[in-house]
Amino acid sequence: MNNTPFFLINTNKIDDLLSDMRRELESKWPKAIIGYSFKTNNLPWIIKYMKDKGVWAETVSSDEYNLALELGFSADKIIFNGPVKDKATFLYAVENNSVVNIDSKREINWVLELDEVKRALVKVGLRVNFCIEDYCPGESQCGSDDGRFGFSYENGELEEALSVLEKHGVKVSGLHLHCSSKTRSLYIYRAIAKIAAEISSKYALDLDYVDVGGGFFGGVVGKPSFKDYFEVIHAELSNCDRLKNTNVIIEPGMSLIGASVDYYTSVVDVKNTKNNHFVITDGSRTHIDPLMRKSAYTYHIEGGKDEAVDNQIICGFTCMEGDRFFKYDGKRLQEGDKIVFEKVGAYTMGLSPQFIEFYPAVYAAIGDEIVEARPKVDAKKFVNINK
Ligand SMILES: Cc1ncc(COP(=O)(O)O)c(C=O)c1O
């Protein structure tokens, strides 16, 4: 584990977060389902780790669905969401008892093409589109431009979907209401639960589950806890006669894996220019901030000389000038010092490009033991993947 850069998964952290989440969730809904959001970090080692802990798979494409099968999930432990499922995988999932949340009209048509006997046997969920901005002003990701997933509650498309399915004898067994937000606040989940209650009452739905999606904070000081989230959701759902005994599904990603992964880099050079003082590392923003949006990092430094230097610009290895992490006023950094970026497990590895350097290694700490979760991709592997 000497060759930086690499990621290090802290399995103790995953275990703590998962057991806290599970305890709080099951205290409200004893049969609640936790589906790990593959998109948040799709490293097979991490997915298998979650599976071994009894977590289901939450997938949003046919590739992700097939990855779940490949990694040994049985179909009835896979949640299948997303607008771009292919027909064959969709029908396989529906007929093999996956939790399938329909997101588009063509999926409805595919179910309606089944013969009457099959239609009577299958169950599907519907993804609800509603204007979260009306309930939580300033908190939603799209504002008044609306999110694009699911069937609109407000304009009647949801009602139409429900009635077409009912008319053809297809049981709608669940509602899926994930909303990505800027704030991950309790208000978002109160609104989700409120809308679920309103819809199930208005259309007299007899649901097996309400899927509230992901988007939670996980173990972040000063932010809502799992207990806070589930209390808010429970307060709304238990107030609704139709949902009192309905099961709940959650789809955590960030809240389980975000804080559980660190990224280790080393200083390879320090150079002064006319106006600046650069610290070049063997890491890159492309690995931990692939969308180049972060304005701050949580990190610690191993090494450095006591003498302090202002304005040390910590940079990555790529040729992009924008590959600069942050400005550091502190101990003078020098070749060989380590900069460890913390809490970088979510939306990093899965979004990373193979740009200039191929994928770095990933290790996992299990107690005192370190195992390799993914070897570094070398030139040979890179050629094999791409031929
Ligand atoms: C449908 C769905 N479920 C779950 C998640 C996971 O969210 P997070 O990683 O923020 O927990 C997402 C993320 O966008 C999502 O779209």
| 253 C-alpha to ligand 1 centroid (Å) | 6
Average pLDDT (20-38) is: 98
Are 229 and 189 spatial neighbours (Cβ–Cβ below 8 Å)? yes
* pLDDT exceeds cutoff 90 at 143: no
Q: Report helix, strand or coil for 87.
A: helix
Average pLDDT (215-235) is: 96
Clarify whether residues 267 and 226 are in a common domain.
Answer: no
Classify residue 144: in a domain, yes or no.
Answer: yes
Residue-wise pLDDT tens digits, 347-386: 999 999 999 999 999 999 999 999 999 999 999 999 999 9
Q: Give the torsion sign (CA, 11, 14, 18, 19).
A: positive
Clarify whether residues 237 and 274 are in a common domain.
Answer: no
Residue 322: which CATH number? 2.40.37.10
Classify residue 14: in a domain, yes or no.
Answer: no
141 lines ligand 1 (CB under 6 A): no
Q: How confident is the model at residue 219 (pLDDT cuts 50, 70, 90)?
A: confident
Output the pLDDT for position 17.
Answer: 98
What are 365's two structure tokens? 């700490």
Domain termination site, one of 201, 230, 252: 252
181 lines ligand 1 (CB under 6 A): no
Clarify whether residues 56 and 202 are in a common domain.
Answer: yes
Q: Report helix, strand or coil for 293.
A: coil
| 367 C-alpha to ligand 1 centroid (Å) | 29
Atom number of ligand 1 nearest to Cα 254: 9
* pLDDT exceeds cutoff 80 at 1: no
Question: Closest Cα to residue 277, out of 309, 304, 316?
Answer: 309
Q: How confident is the model at residue 195 (pLDDT cuts 50, 70, 90)?
A: very high
What are 324's two structure tokens? 């600069």
188 lines ligand 1 (CB under 6 A): no
Average pLDDT (312-320) is: 97
Q: What is the CA radius of gyration of the chain?
A: 23
| 119 C-alpha to ligand 1 centroid (Å) | 29
Output the pLDDT for position 144.
Answer: 85
Clarify whether residues 269 and 207 are in a common domain.
Answer: no
For ligand 1, mutation pick of 25, 34, 39 (most atoms within 8 Å of CB): 39
Output the pLDDT for position 342.
Answer: 98
Q: How confident is the model at residue 206 (pLDDT cuts 50, 70, 90)?
A: very high
Average pLDDT (44-71) is: 98
81 lines ligand 1 (CB under 6 A): yes
Clarify whether residues 212 and 307 are in a common domain.
Answer: no
Cα 282 from Cα 346, distance rounded (Å): 21
As for how many domains the chain has, the answer is: 2
Clarify whether residues 240 and 317 are in a common domain.
Answer: no
101 lines ligand 1 (CB under 6 A): no
147 lines ligand 1 (CB under 6 A): no
* pLDDT exceeds cutoff 80 at 198: yes
Average pLDDT (106-128) is: 97
Classify residue 178: in a domain, yes or no.
Answer: yes
Output the pLDDT for position 2.
Answer: 73
Average pLDDT (115-142) is: 95
Domain that includes residue 297, residue range: 259-382
Predicted model pTM:
0.97
Taking the CA atoms of residue 264, residue 270, residue 273 and residue 277 in that order, the dihedral angle to the nearest 10 degrees is: 60
* pLDDT exceeds cutoff 90 at 324: yes
Average pLDDT (85-108) is: 98
Residue-wise pLDDT tens digits, 81-93: 999 999 999 999 9
40 lines ligand 1 (CB under 6 A): yes
* pLDDT exceeds cutoff 90 at 133: yes
Clarify whether residues 70 and 142 are in a common domain.
Answer: yes
